[in-house]
A and B are shown apart, each in its own frame.
Chain A
Amino acid sequence: MALEVLNLEHVPATHRIYAAFFRDVNNSDFLHAQLLARNPDFDYAFIDASSVISRRHLESAIFNALVTIVDGTLLSATPHSEVVLSMSPSNNISEAYRRWGISLKTKDLIVVKVAIPPSADPTSTTQPAPQAPEEIWAHLSEAVKGTPVALSDEEISKATDWQKLRKYYALNSVPMLAKVESDEGKRKEMERLAIMRMALRGL
């Protein structure tokens, strides 16, 4: 099973986080349509992996979303839309979906599932009981037509589109990057700068 459990620090034990990474997805139009139709069977955060730098980058967004979920201060409609929004440095929800959400052209897809027990989510009235990871995976592996791969920095980096990310996180003329010599070091710093911008979203 290529569904990973993300055990992030400082997340209530009641909240479970699962994620999977599919490459060469060829039914993103179908998945996108399910999202638009608000099909309750597709209650996931679908993230275009070309807008993701690393596992840590992704985890930061998920953690930030979890903070608002636990606080009950969601800015968007659902926990999963909050994960997509948390990738963004701005509060513009439709822009966040355009940049980080699944699109018709998405080739590499990261799927995040935040499973919250009904009792822990007072805002939801229709939330079904949390699914078992096997169930989630059974559904995902059926629904997503692509190659499951490990959610590792190495795999993610194959999908990353730096040109887009430089624009999204305003990384093009950052003085501090000029001080970093190695490409590896630059990538590491860009990851941090992106995480910082996400943390400061809306301030």
Chain B
Amino acid sequence: MAATEEQQFPLPKILTYPASAPPSLIAQGAEGRLYKTTHLESGLPCALKFRPSKPYRHPILDARLTKARIAAEAKVLDKCYREGVPVPAVYALDAATGWMMIEWVEGRPVRQGINDWLGERPTEDAPAVEEDETPFVDLMKRIGEAVGNLHRTGVIHGDLTTSNMMLKPWAPSQSSTESGDKAKVVEGDVVLIDFGLATQSSSDEDRAVDLYVLERAFASTHPRAERLFDHVLESYKHAFKKAPSVLIKLEDVRMRGRKKSMLG
């Protein structure tokens, strides 16, 4: 969603104090806003997530929710980070006033990488030249692995989409040279971001719903790559011990989902 008229929103107080560069509004969602700014030094970029107070809410309830949600998100990130799940590190936070500074993840959203890759493909009805899908399939596998690691840790993301994953560029040595520039658009470590709706759970059901949300988002965002989504699930399957039973549960969730025929 376009960040509409930056000036419309008052900055969180912390961002009104002197800094080397003015903060820039990156995204504005229903729950909060995301700014790009700095932590401690001008050379340390960070993202500041701000949950403004909601005037419609009773002040006591508002304070309680703001604090609990910043705390919950920070705890989930800490847990994931320590377990080696690729998520941004937490730098600083103030739960009472509703902000959190986290690592700035370099790179582009996975959604963009996928679209760039697909953009170069011939259209479906054009007879496809035998082409190497390996770099794309590898990305699908890295996505499955990242989500698998997340679930192994006991965390449910709650809003998995290809916009909530970043492709963090590899060091030049890691980058493949033989597949050329085409492969570059889908290279990079998959880093999961935006844990605003995350919860802690290890149930098959919750994990399956999390996967189902991703599957649906993937199908609607990248319909032309839908057939390759199986690689995500295949790699997820090997990420942790209980993954196969989650995938069985996913079948049930899909059936229910179709009956409900929901969107969004």
Residues of A participating in the B interface, judged by any CB pair closer than 8 Å: 8-13, 56, 59-60, 63-64, 67, 70-71, 73, 174-176, 178-179, 192-193, 195-197, 199-200, 203
A187 to B259 alpha-carbon distance, docked (Å): 52
A8 neighbours in B (Cβ, 8 Å): 40-41
- Range class of the B interface residue count: 20 to 34
Q: Are A200 and B90 in contact (CB under 8 A)?
A: yes
Residue with the highest number of chain A CB atoms closer than 10 Å, among B17, B38, B41, B42? B17
Given A9-B40, A176-B81, A199 and B97 touching (CB < 8 A)? no
Q: Are B90 and A12 in contact (CB under 8 A)?
A: no
A12 to B15 alpha-carbon distance, docked (Å): 10
The 10 nearest A-B residue pairs measured at CB: A176-B84, A9-B19, A203-B71, A9-B38, A10-B17, A59-B40, A196-B90, A12-B17, A175-B84, A192-B89
Q: Are B74 and A176 in contact (CB under 8 A)?
A: no
Q: Are A199 and B92 in contact (CB under 8 A)?
A: yes
User: How close is B126's CB to chain A, nearest CB, in angstroms?
Assistant: 43
Q: Are B81 and A193 in contact (CB under 8 A)?
A: yes
Q: Are B82 and A10 in contact (CB under 8 A)?
A: no
Partner of A176, one of B37, B82, B95, B96: B82
Q: Are A174 and B75 in contact (CB under 8 A)?
A: no
A175 to B84 alpha-carbon distance, docked (Å): 6
14 sampled A-B residue pairs with Cβ under 8 A: A9-B19, A9-B37, A10-B19, A10-B37, A10-B38, A56-B40, A67-B92, A175-B84, A176-B84, A196-B78, A199-B93, A200-B74, A200-B78, A200-B93
A56 neighbours in B (Cβ, 8 Å): 40-41, 44
Answer whether residue B94 sits at the interface, using C-beta atoms and an 8 A cutoff: yes
Answer whether residue B106 sits at the interface, using C-beta atoms and an 8 A cutoff: no
The interface residues of chain A, by DSSP majority, are classed as: helix
A135 to B20 alpha-carbon distance, docked (Å): 28
A8 to B81 alpha-carbon distance, docked (Å): 25
Extra 11 A-B pairs, beta carbons < 8 Å, given A11-B17, A12-B17, A203-B95: A9-B20, A10-B17, A11-B18, A67-B14, A174-B82, A176-B84, A179-B84, A195-B91, A197-B78, A199-B92, A200-B74
Given A60-B92, A67-B94, A200 and B17 touching (CB < 8 A)? no
Answer whether residue B39 sits at the interface, using C-beta atoms and an 8 A cutoff: yes
A71 to B19 alpha-carbon distance, docked (Å): 18
Partner of A196, one of B89, B95, B96: B89
A8 to B101 alpha-carbon distance, docked (Å): 14
Q: Are B18 and A12 in contact (CB under 8 A)?
A: yes
Answer whether residue B230 sits at the interface, using C-beta atoms and an 8 A cutoff: no
A-B residue pair count with CB separations less than 8 angstroms? 84
A64 neighbours in B (Cβ, 8 Å): 92
Question: Quick one: which of B66-109 are within 8 Å of A by CB?
Answer: 71, 74-75, 77-78, 81-84, 89-97, 101
A69 to B14 alpha-carbon distance, docked (Å): 12
Given A10-B14, A11-B18, A200-B74, A71 and B90 touching (CB < 8 A)? no
A63 neighbours in B (Cβ, 8 Å): 39-40, 92
B20 neighbours in A (Cβ, 8 Å): 9
Question: Quick one: which of B103-128 are within 8 Å of A by CB?
Answer: none
B19 neighbours in A (Cβ, 8 Å): 9-10
A11 to B74 alpha-carbon distance, docked (Å): 22
User: How close is A174's CB to chain B, nearest CB, in angstroms?
Assistant: 5
A178 to B82 alpha-carbon distance, docked (Å): 10
A27 to B54 alpha-carbon distance, docked (Å): 54
Q: Are A175 and B83 in contact (CB under 8 A)?
A: yes
User: How close is A11's CB to chain B, nearest CB, in angstroms?
Assistant: 6
Q: Are A9 and B42 in contact (CB under 8 A)?
A: yes
Partner of B17, one of A13, A175, A203: A13
Residue with the highest number of chain B CB atoms closer than 10 Å, among A56, A73, A193, A200? A200
Q: Are A176 and B17 in contact (CB under 8 A)?
A: no
Q: When each residue 208-220 of chain B gets 1 if its CB lies under 8 Å from chain A and 0 otherwise, what string results?
A: 0000000000000
A174 to B78 alpha-carbon distance, docked (Å): 11
B18 neighbours in A (Cβ, 8 Å): 9-13
A9 to B14 alpha-carbon distance, docked (Å): 10
